Chains A and B, each alone.
Chain A
Amino acid sequence: MSNANSYERYHRQTILPGFGEEGQQKLLKAKVLVVGAGGLGCPALQYLTAAGVGTIGIIDDDVVALNNLHRQVLYSVNDIGFSKAERASHILGQLNPEIKILSYNERLLTQNALLLFDDFDIILDGTDNFSTRYMVNDACVLLRKPLVYGAISQFEGQLSVFRNENDDDVNYRDIFPDPPKEGEVLGCDEAGVLGTMPGIIGTMMANEAIKLITGIGEPLVNQLLTYNALSNQVYQLSLSARNETHSLIPKNETEFLRTDYLWLCSSPMSEEEIDAETFNDLIEKGNVDVIDVRELQELPEANDFANIKIPLAQLANNAGEIRRDAVITFCQTGNRSLQAAKILKGIFGKDKKIYSLRGGILEWSRRKQYERKKA
């Protein structure tokens, strides 16, 4: 497309005071990744595309459904059953063929998040679940990428910008340190949402991204804005970083890859599982055997409490080493220890109380560090 066309396309924004040709050039050079092409993602994508953000990434593994259409107005009935990322990319390409649109019809996971985020300047979080939200937040903190956050429920929305430039910049965990468990906070599929709600908040997210890129105005850094569509009330809060927040966030790629975000946000899968708090209480009460079922050389070493080392593979043969009536198994992340607890339950039946430490030694250590810093 010619320069003349480009001049005309962006004319109404380039004549804005403080925006100009310079602002347009910044947009054309910018790379923005939108995580989730749903309620928030659709309007954000439409405005970012229209504004001429040079490279836009769309990641979503979902397909368009009829019950999406009351709010995801980018799609039509013909798109039902097709990949959101691919349909969005196609439709947006028609809106603005001058920009590059990259679609990823895949789920965002710890395995692909860091590599993908690294290619973009700004990340927009338009996801619909806590596990991905916490993962996106942690990845952005790790990579020091600016994150535009938006979330909605029923008739209300929240919006913020986490700049992630310096250690004392506020991130999502400064507001809500821990993910709520499954079912604790209802999603739009259960609680419902007014169709215009993601339209409003998603558009505001695009607006914040445009401000960050062009340098106009004051992005919502260290602020949380809430909007109520029924009362038209806007409530804006100042946020401050907490010292202890960083101990909850993986420190490097290895730790990030080891973090099971899906697990962090799920309810206990079985009655054997206990959290770090219950674990500490049981140890304090005493009369409990704590079993490390990891392989012998695995790190970090567990030196903070007495424990017996019996790798999972040898557990059934060495169960005789367990004397006390209460037993807690633990491993790195809580998977193997749950298997171990089931094995022990098979051996001891109702003779012993058997527990498995949820989240393993990694989550326990993180929590301990967090509590120490908080105190």
Chain B
Amino acid sequence: MEGDLANCNSGKFVLLYMSMHIILFGRLVDIAGSSVLVGDVADTDSLINALHNTYPALAQAKYVIAVDKQVITSNTLLNEKSVVALLPPFSGG
């Protein structure tokens, strides 16, 4: 399922072996309607494209992308074990 994303906030345990996870933070959770998504894409650029197509409001949001807990600045290859995190900036104090 190339470029596929699935929402996995079913409220129940979902066992997802061998599946790339995308963790969302802050307001991005509201946009996607879930704090965790699963996907199957080749790299971060394709992931972002797929996410923006599925959730157009995400394209307007500011966020930083981390792959396996390392913030990335350019397209990065992903595999089925990758954990991708999208973090928006917070202003509150």
Contact = CB atoms under 8 A, between A and B. Distances in A.
Interface of A: 36, 38-41, 125-130, 133, 150-154, 156-158, 175-176, 178, 180, 184-188, 191, 193, 198, 224, 226, 228, 231, 235-240, 242
Nearest to B67: A237
B37 interface: no
Nearest to A235: B85
B26 interface: yes
Given A156-B25, A238-B70, A176 B93 contact: no
Q: Interface on chain B toward A: helix, strand, loop, or mixed SS?
A: loop
Given A186-B27, A235-B23, A150 B69 contact: no
A158 B71 CA distance: 14
Interface of B: 23, 25-27, 35, 60-62, 64, 66, 69-71, 73, 85, 87-93
Contacts of B70: 237-238, 240
Contact of B62 (A150, A184, A231): A184
A86 to B, nearest CB: 19
B88 A185 contact: yes
Given A129-B91, A175-B64, A185 B27 contact: yes
- Report which residue of A38, A39, A184, A242 has the largest number of chain B beta carbons within 10 angstroms of its beta carbon: A184
Contacts of B62: 176, 178, 180, 184-185
A13 to B, nearest CB: 26
A237 B87 contact: yes
30 contacts: A36-B93, A38-B93, A39-B92, A41-B93, A128-B91, A128-B93, A130-B89, A151-B89, A151-B91, A151-B93, A152-B90, A153-B27, A154-B26, A156-B90, A158-B87, A180-B89, A184-B62, A185-B88, A185-B89, A185-B90, A185-B91, A188-B92, A198-B93, A224-B87, A226-B25, A237-B70, A237-B71, A237-B85, A238-B70, A242-B73
- Sorted nearest first, the 7 A-B pairs with minimum C-beta distance are A151-B90, A188-B92, A128-B93, A153-B90, A152-B92, A40-B93, A176-B89
B86 to A, nearest CB: 11
A153 B93 contact: no
Contacts of B26: 153-154, 156
Nearest to A231: B35
A328 B60 CA distance: 26
A239 B93 contact: no
Nearest to A40: B93
Contact of B91 (A41, A156, A187, A239): A187
Contacts of B64: 175-176
- Report which residue of B26, B70, B93 has the largest number of chain A beta carbons within 10 angstroms of its beta carbon: B93
A151 B89 CA distance: 8
- Report which residue of A41, A150, A193, A226 has the largest number of chain B beta carbons within 10 angstroms of its beta carbon: A226
- Report which residue of B25, B35, B87, B90 has the largest number of chain A beta carbons within 10 angstroms of its beta carbon: B90
Contacts of B88: 185
Contact of A152 (B60, B69, B71, B93): B93
Given A153-B27, A176-B64, 17 more contacts: A36-B93, A133-B91, A150-B93, A151-B91, A175-B64, A175-B89, A180-B62, A187-B91, A187-B92, A191-B27, A228-B25, A235-B69, A237-B66, A237-B69, A237-B70, A237-B85, A242-B73
